Structure 1
Amino acid sequence: MIRRPFPCRTTLLAVLLVSCLTAPALAGVNLPRTIVLSPEALYRSRQRVLARERTVRAAMAALKADADAAMKVPVEPVTAKPRSGSGLPVRDYRSLAPYWWPDPASRTGLPYVRRDGERNPEADSERYDRGRLTRMARAVRTLALAWYFTGNELYAARASAHVRAWFCDPATRMVPSLEHAQRRPGHDQGNRTGIIETAALIPVCDAIRLLEPSKAWTRADSRRTREWFGQYLGWLLRSEHGRAEAAALNNHGTWFDAQVAAFALFREDRELAREVAGLAGNRRIATQILPDGSMPRELARTRPRHCVFFNLDAFMVLASVGERCGLDLWHWASPTGQSIRRALDRNGPHLDPADPLPGTRAADFDPYPYVPLFRRAALVYNDTRYLDYLVPLDEETLARETSFIAY
C-alpha cells in the first residue's frame, strides 16, 4: 500500500543528511551496533527525534504509521505454509525460481521453461516461503527502527516474536539451509540461485542489533539467533549450492559475498567478515565494473536497470561491512579506475524511471528500493550531489521510504 506523500520530503531529507555530513565526530557515546545502517547517522537522527525538532516530525509520523501497520503483520514462519505431498520437512525453506513457467507445449507443463525477466506469479503463492520471508524481514526492520526512535516496547515485542518464530523456536524455526530454494519443476528440487533470497536477512541482522537493548529481547534470543546464523553460514560456505553461487560472476556472486560478510559480522566473526570484504575489490569490483562505471553482465539481462542497481546495493553492504572492519571499499579503485563510486556516478542519473540506461530499452522500473543507496553515498562521499539523483522521483515514491533517518 502506498501512503499519501507529505510535503517537502526532499528538503527534509537534505536537511537531515547535511546535518550528518557536517556534524563533528562522535566519541564516548553508546552507538547502536548495526552492520549496514550507519550507527553514527542512527544516533544523530535519534537525538534530533528526542529533541523534537520540527524538521523530523513528518518523517517520524511516517515511520510510526509504517510500524503500526507492521504490528498487524501475522507471525508466519516457514511452518505456516500449507502441507504438501512433496515429502519435504515443513521447516525446510521452499521457493520457486521466479522466471520459470509451465511449458505450454507439454500436457503436464513439465519441465518448466525459462522466461528471463518475466516473473511467474506462482512464485508468490502461499505454497512457497519467499513471500513470508519478505514480509517478516520488512516488518522486523520497520518495528526495530520504530522501537529505536520511540522506545515503544510494543514494537520491540512484536519484532522479537517474528525473529523467535523464524530462528529460535525449535518447532517453527527454518532449517538453516536453502536446498529447496528456487526449484525448477521438472529439473530439480532446488537451485543455487535461490541463495540470493536470504539477502533479505541482512536487514534482519541490523534489526536484531537494534533490539538488543530492549526489554523484549533476551540473552537467550541473542544466543539462539547467533547459533542459527552460524549454522546457515556454515551451509553457505560448505554446500554444493553455496560453492556454486560463490563462483557466480554477476550480482549473484556479489550478494553471496555480502551475505557471508554480514552474517559473519553479526555473529562476531570479524576475521571472516574482514576477509570477505577485503577480497571484494579485486574479486568483485574489478571483475564486474568497467572503468566507465558500467556493468556489462547486468546490462545483458532482460531487466538491466534493476540488475545494475541491485548489484550496487550488494556493493553497499560489502562496503558497510568493510567500514566496521577498518576497510574502505567505498574509495577502493583498481589501477584502471574501476570503483563503486564510478558505478554510482555512471548509473545514478538513470534512477529516474523515465531515463533508461544507455543502450537499453525503457521498461518498468521501481527506483524505490535504491533510494537509500544514494542517501548513503551522500554521507560517505560528503557530497549532496548524490541527492540530486532523487529529484526526478515523485513525492509518492519517496514517501514510501521512511528509513532515511537511519542512513
Structure 2
Amino acid sequence: MPPTVLLDGRQLAELAALYRQGDAEALEIVRSLQARADAILDQPVVRVTDKGSVAGGESSIGESSNDYRSLAKYWWPDPAADDGAPYIRRDGEVNPACYADHFDASRLVFLAESLQVLSLATWFTGDAAYRERAVAQLETWFVTPESRQSAHFQFAQIVPGRPGLRPSGLIEARQLIYVTESILLLEGADALPASLSSALRAWFRDLLTWFRTSDKGLAAGKASNNVALWYDLQCLAYAWFVGDDTLVQYIVTEVAVTRREDQVDLDGSLPAELDRANPMDYVAFTLAAMSQLSRYGDAAGVPIWHQADGDGRSFQRAHEWFIQQAEVKESREASQGLLGEAGSSDQQGQVVSRLDETGDLILQLAMVNRLADARRRMLEVRGRQTKRKTVRIAELERELASSEKKLKTLTQKQGKEAEQIMEENKQASARLERLEKELVKAREARIKELQDVIHRQEEQARDGERQRELQQQVKDQKEKLAQLETRFRDAKRQFDTRFAESETAKDALAGENDRLERELKQRDTDNQKLKEKEKRFGELLKSNEKELEKLLKAFRERPKASAVDDAKQREEIKKLKQELRGQQRKVGRLQETADRQKLRADYFKERSDKILKSRSWRMTAVLRKLTGGDSGKKR
C-alpha cells in the first residue's frame, strides 16, 4: 500500500489488485490512464529555465532563470500609461498573459499533473518507460544545477510597477503538494533511486525553511483569508514529506484552531471570501484547503474536520453552510454557480470544466466527490418532500370524497337537517376563529422563542470575544515569560564570563605574588651576602689597624739609626699610611654599597607590600562586583 495521504493508499492497492485480476472496470480505468501517460511521453521534459532570460518588461522579474516567476492573475496593464505600469486590479478577470511562455505558471501545472499521471501509471503497470520519464522530470526540475528551480517563490504573482510583497503568490506553490504525493507513490512502487529521494527531500526541506522564515512566507501565514489556509496546508504537506513530525503536530493541533476562529463565522460562512467577485468559487477553493488539511490531520491522528470550538465553528460547519446555500438558491444565477443544485450531468460538467482551470487534479477529484454527496443529499431531501406531498394529496383526496359525500347527503335532506348543518357550520366557524386566535398566540410565542435564541447567540458571541481576549492574554504572558527566560540566560552567561575572568585574574595574581615572593627572597639573600661582606671588611679594617699600630709601636721602639735609615723608615711609614688610607677608602665604599643595597632592599620590600595590598584590594573588588555583594559582606 503506497504511503500517500491525499490519495487513498488502500483504494489504490485494491484497484491495482483488481487490474491484475483482469477486472473490466479496472482495466478500463488503467487503459485511460495509460493513454494520458503515453501522451506525456511524446512531450519534452519541462524546465523552470525554459522561460529564458529576456531583458526588460514583465519577463525580467527575478534574479536568474532558475527562479520561479509568474504574473498576478487579476492585474492588467493600465491603459492610461505608456508602458502599462503600474498594473491595475480587475478582480475576477484573469489576465491571459499570466499563462505566457515567459512565465512559469503553466509549466508548474504541467509538472504536477504529468507526475501524477506518470506515478499512477507506474504504480498500476510497472512500465519502465513511465518510471524513467518520471525520474527524468524530477531530476530536471529539482536536482540538476543548470535546470533546477531555486527553492523559493519570491517572484510568484509579481505585479509590474508595484514592488511590494504579494503573499498570495504562495498559493501557486500548492502544485508541489501533489508532486510530493507522486514521489511517495513512486517510492511505494520502488521506482525511485535512494539518492534521488534524498536529494528531493533536501530541496523540499530548503523550501519549507524559506516558507517559514522569509518575509513573504510569514506574511502569508498572517493572512485572514484562503491564503493562510493554503500556506498552512503546504507547510504541513512539506513537513510530512521531509519527516518533521514536531511541525506536523504543531500545525494540526495549534494552527488549525486559530484558522477556525479567524475565518469561520458562527453560521458557518466564510466572510473573508464573500466580498470577492465570484464568492462561491472562493468558498469552494477555501473548503478544498480545509478538506486536504483534514486529510493530513487524520493521517497524524487529529480529526480536524469534525473538531469544533465552543461556539460551534468547524470546517465541517463551513461545508454544511456551503451545501445549504447550494440547496436553497433556486434562481438561474445560483444554478450556474460553482455547485449550483448539482441537478444534472451538464451542470456537473460545467463545474468540472471550471475546476480544470485551477490545474489541481486532486482538488477536482475531491470536489467531484463533494458534488456527488451534495446531489445525493438533495435527492434524499426531495424524495422525502415528494413522499410527504403524496401523503398529503391522498389525505386531501379522502377529505374531498368525504365532503362530496356530505354535500350529496345535504342535498337529499331538508328541514332540520339543513338547519343542523348550518348550525354545525356556525360552530365550525367559531372553532376556526378560536384556532386563528390560538395560531396568533402560538406565532407570538414562536417569535419570542426566536428572540430568546438570538439573545443567546449574542451572548455566545460575547463569550467568544472574551475567550479570544483570554487567549491573547495567555499569549502575552507566554511572550513575557520567554523574555524573562532570555534575560535570565543572558545574565547567567555574563556571570559565567565574569566568573571565568575572575578565575583568570586570581591565577594571574597568584603568579604575580609568587614572583614577588621569589624577588623578596632573592633580596633577603642579597642583603645577607652584603652583611657578610660588611662583616668581612670590618674584620679586615680592624686587622689593618692592628698591623699599623704594631708598625708604629715598632717604629717608636726601634734604636736610633742614621739619617738615611730614618728617611727610609719615614718613606715606608708614608707608604703604609697611604695603604691604610686606601684600605679605609675601600672599606668606606663597601660600606656605602652595603647601605645602598640595604636601602634598595627596603624599597623593594615596601613596593612589594604595596603591590600585594593593591592586588588584594582589586581582587576583592572584582569578586564583590561579580557576586553582587556589598562592601564587608560575604555571599
Please classify the TM superposition score into its range, dividing by the shorter chain length.
0.7 to 0.9
Distance 1:189 1:144 in 2: 38
Structure 2: state its 5+ residue gaps: 328-332, 341-346, 380-635
Say whether the 8 Å CA contact 2:288–2:367 is kept in structure 1: no
Q: Give yes or no for the alignment of 1:58 onto 2:28.
A: yes
Post-superposition offset of 1:367: 4.6
Which residue number corresponds to residue 335 of structure 1? 310
**Please, what is the CA RMSD of the aligned residues?**
2.7
Distance 1:297 1:252 in 2: 11
Say whether the 8 Å CA contact 2:3–2:188 is kept in structure 1: no
Counterparts of 1:135-174 in structure 2, within 5 Å, are 135-174=110-149
Distance 2:53 2:25 in 1: 50
Distance 1:317 1:358 in 2: 19
> Quick one: which amino acid aligns to residue 47 of structure 2?
P
Task: State, as a whole percentage, how many aligned pairs show the same letter.
Answer: 33
Distance 2:339 2:40 in 1: 39
SS at match of 1:73: coil
Which residue number corresponds to residue 388 of structure 1? 376
Which residue number corresponds to residue 409 of structure 2? none
Which residue number corresponds to residue 365 of structure 2? 372
Distance 1:377 1:191 in 2: 31
Distance 1:299 1:69 in 2: 40
Say whether the 8 Å CA contact 2:284–2:338 is kept in structure 1: no
More helix by share: 2
> Quick one: which amino acid aligns to residue 140 of structure 2?
A
SS at match of 1:95: strand
The 1:386–1:148 alpha-carbon spacing in structure 2 relative to 1, beyond 3 Å, is farther
Say whether the 8 Å CA contact 2:47–2:107 is kept in structure 1: yes
The 1:224–1:194 alpha-carbon spacing in structure 2 relative to 1, beyond 3 Å, is same
Which residue number corresponds to residue 354 of structure 1? 335
Q: Of residues 41, 58, 77 in structure 2, which corresponds to 1:71?
A: 41
Which residue number corresponds to residue 262 of structure 1? 237
Deviations 1:247-281 (A, max 9, x none): 01111000000000000000111211121122243
Which residue number corresponds to residue 198 of structure 2? 223
Which residue number corresponds to residue 406 of structure 2? none
Post-superposition offset of 1:189: 7.5
Say whether the 8 Å CA contact 1:96–1:183 is kept in structure 2: yes
SS at match of 2:72: coil
> Quick one: which amino acid aligns to residue 279 of structure 1?
E
> Quick one: which amino acid aligns to residue 101 of structure 1?
W
The 1:389–1:353 alpha-carbon spacing in structure 2 relative to 1, beyond 3 Å, is farther
Say whether the 8 Å CA contact 2:2–2:189 is kept in structure 1: no
Distance 1:390 1:46 in 2: 33
Post-superposition offset of 1:372: 2.2
Say whether the 8 Å CA contact 1:180–1:190 is kept in structure 2: no
Distance 2:122 2:378 in 1: 28
SS at match of 1:241: helix
Which fold has the larger relative contact order, with Cα–Cα distance below 8 Å and residues 6 or more apart in sequence?
1
Distance 2:268 2:42 in 1: 42
Deviations 1:160-192 (A, max 9, x none): 211111111122111101111111101128632
The 1:353–1:145 alpha-carbon spacing in structure 2 relative to 1, beyond 3 Å, is farther
Which residue number corresponds to residue 119 of structure 1? 94
Distance 2:378 2:121 in 1: 24
Give the structure with higher Rg (CA): 2
Distance 1:390 1:274 in 2: 37
Distance 1:213 1:278 in 2: 28
> Quick one: which amino acid aligns to residue 174 of structure 2?
A
Say whether the 8 Å CA contact 2:69–2:155 is kept in structure 1: yes
Which residue number corresponds to residue 76 of structure 2? 101
Distance 2:312 2:146 in 1: 51
Post-superposition offset of 1:119: 0.7
SS at match of 1:292: coil
Distance 1:341 1:84 in 2: 48
Which residue number corresponds to residue 10 of structure 2? 40
Q: Of residues 296, 300, 325 in structure 1, which corresponds to 2:300?
A: 325
Post-superposition offset of 1:387: 6.3
Say whether the 8 Å CA contact 2:154–2:216 is kept in structure 1: yes
SS at match of 2:234: helix
Distance 1:92 1:371 in 2: 28
SS at match of 1:182: strand
Say whether the 8 Å CA contact 1:112–1:186 is kept in structure 2: yes
Task: Answer with 236-245 or 181-190: which moved more.
Answer: 181-190
SS at match of 2:335: coil
Counterparts of 1:6-21 in structure 2, within 5 Å, are none
Say whether the 8 Å CA contact 2:48–2:104 is kept in structure 1: yes
Distance 2:42 2:286 in 1: 32
Aligned residue pairs total: 353
Distance 1:390 1:37 in 2: 27
Post-superposition offset of 1:375: 6.2
Post-superposition offset of 1:91: 0.5
> Quick one: which amino acid aligns to residue 197 of structure 2?
S
Distance 2:21 2:339 in 1: 46
Distance 2:337 2:27 in 1: 35
Which residue number corresponds to residue 405 of structure 1? none
Which residue number corresponds to residue 180 of structure 1? 155
Distance 1:32 1:357 in 2: 32
Structure 1: state its 5+ residue gaps: 1-30, 379-383, 392-407
Distance 2:88 2:217 in 1: 24
Which residue number corresponds to residue 260 of structure 2? 285
Distance 1:97 1:265 in 2: 29
Distance 2:171 2:47 in 1: 19
The 1:42–1:358 alpha-carbon spacing in structure 2 relative to 1, beyond 3 Å, is closer
Distance 1:346 1:189 in 2: 35
> Quick one: which amino acid aligns to residue 75 of structure 1?
V
Distance 2:367 2:166 in 1: 32
Say whether the 8 Å CA contact 2:233–2:289 is kept in structure 1: yes
The 1:387–1:144 alpha-carbon spacing in structure 2 relative to 1, beyond 3 Å, is farther
Which residue number corresponds to residue 246 of structure 1? 221
> Quick one: which amino acid aligns to residue 64 of structure 1?
Q
Distance 2:85 2:368 in 1: 45
Say whether the 8 Å CA contact 1:264–1:272 is kept in structure 2: yes
